[in-house]
Amino acid sequence: MSYLKNHQVFASKSLDQTQAFLAEMNSIDEFDLLGKKATADISIQAASLADIDLLGASFGPDRVTIKAPATEDNDLFLLFVNRGHGKVKHGGQEFEVSAKQGMMRNMRIPMNAIEDNFAALGAKLPVDTLRKHAFALTGQDVFRNDLVFDTALDLTSPGGAHVSNTLHYIANALDGPLHDTKNGVILKELRDVLLTNILMLLPNSYSEILHDRPSGIAMPRQVKRARDYIHEHAEHSIQLVDLLAHVGCGYRTLQVGFNETFGMAPMAYVKMVRLNRAHNELLAAAPGTTIASVARKWGFVHAGRFAQSYTLHFGVSPSATLNRRR
């Protein structure tokens, strides 16, 4: 089944035209057909959902290879396969995408893929938009940095399946009853539903707080100052005495404030931020990067304890993350 068929922006059976169009979009800088008898039959669709761009693509019945460049924008790209399958290399990971496994791409990291009989539907998601929506869900400004999603998404899980169904439902609505609509209220409602499902149902570094903390709790001034200090100095030594001196309050006040706001002690929050920074660095690691160097950079001096904490937090070991680098 095709999606966004009423929003087609490109269609061609010319490889040269396709390459030129994709290069102009700055979405794919190399695109080629594999196989002597392979033929091009390309179509691209695009539609807007408030500040989210929905994109559909069909690359025809044959095998294609693509290379997508890194961008300067702090965006993610959520992709669900509608037909065929592909093998993706992204951020040190190599995995399959299919009807059973989607992808959340970090657009600041280049991606290579080989795809067979491929058609997909996706959404370009500004990270700032996701952070603001997380704040709207919780009533707490606790998400300034470090939003990390699992890159490979299990669509056989109830959460993954529901997010996929939501995106496809929205695409059908934009093709049908909402085609050419100018009603910003309806579009924003659909956008908010999509963002809520993505944040609540796809594994990410905000998941525990999103599920465990009630909404509408104001962040105490001391907690906000300590939170900001942690994010700004995560690469340096941070002791509890440093936080207390910076915010100008006693241990008990800060401890209670962090527990009520984040569900954890101040130093546990420091550890979470550093784990997220280490995770980001391992995802984008250059050849020659070692786990020990990344761990030391983010304040983990004991490699074994770092690996244990990392695995518990992300569900994958640091070595598994690093060894999947291309």
Per-residue pLDDT reduced to its tens digit, 173-190: 998 888 877 777 888 889
Nearest to 63 by CA among 115, 141, 119, 123: 115
Q: Could you tell me what percentage of the chain is helix, strand and coil, using 3-state DSSP and rounding each to the nearest 5?
A: 45, 25, 30
Mean pLDDT of the chain: 86
- 17 to each of 23, 24, 40, 59, how far by Cα in Å? 10, 11, 10, 13
Asked if residues 139 and 215 have their Cβ atoms less than 8 Å apart, the reply is yes
pLDDT digits 0-9 by tens, 5-20: 899 999 999 999 998 9
pTM comes to 0.67
Q: Which domains does the chain have, with CATH numbers?
A: 5-201 (2.60.120.10), 221-323 (1.10.10.60)
Checking if the pLDDT of 122 tops 80, the result is yes
Q: What is the mean pLDDT of residues 48-60?
A: 92
pLDDT for residue 147:
81
Residue that is written with structure tokens 């300067």 in the block: 72
Percent of the chain with pLDDT over 90: 43
Phi, psi of 144 (to 5 degrees): -65, -30
Half-sphere exposure of 207 (CA within 13 A, CB side): 15
Q: What is the mean pLDDT of residues 231-249?
A: 91
Most confident stretch, 140-144, 209-213, 270-274: 270-274
Residue 69: count of CB within 10 angstroms of its CB: 14
pLDDT for residue 143:
52
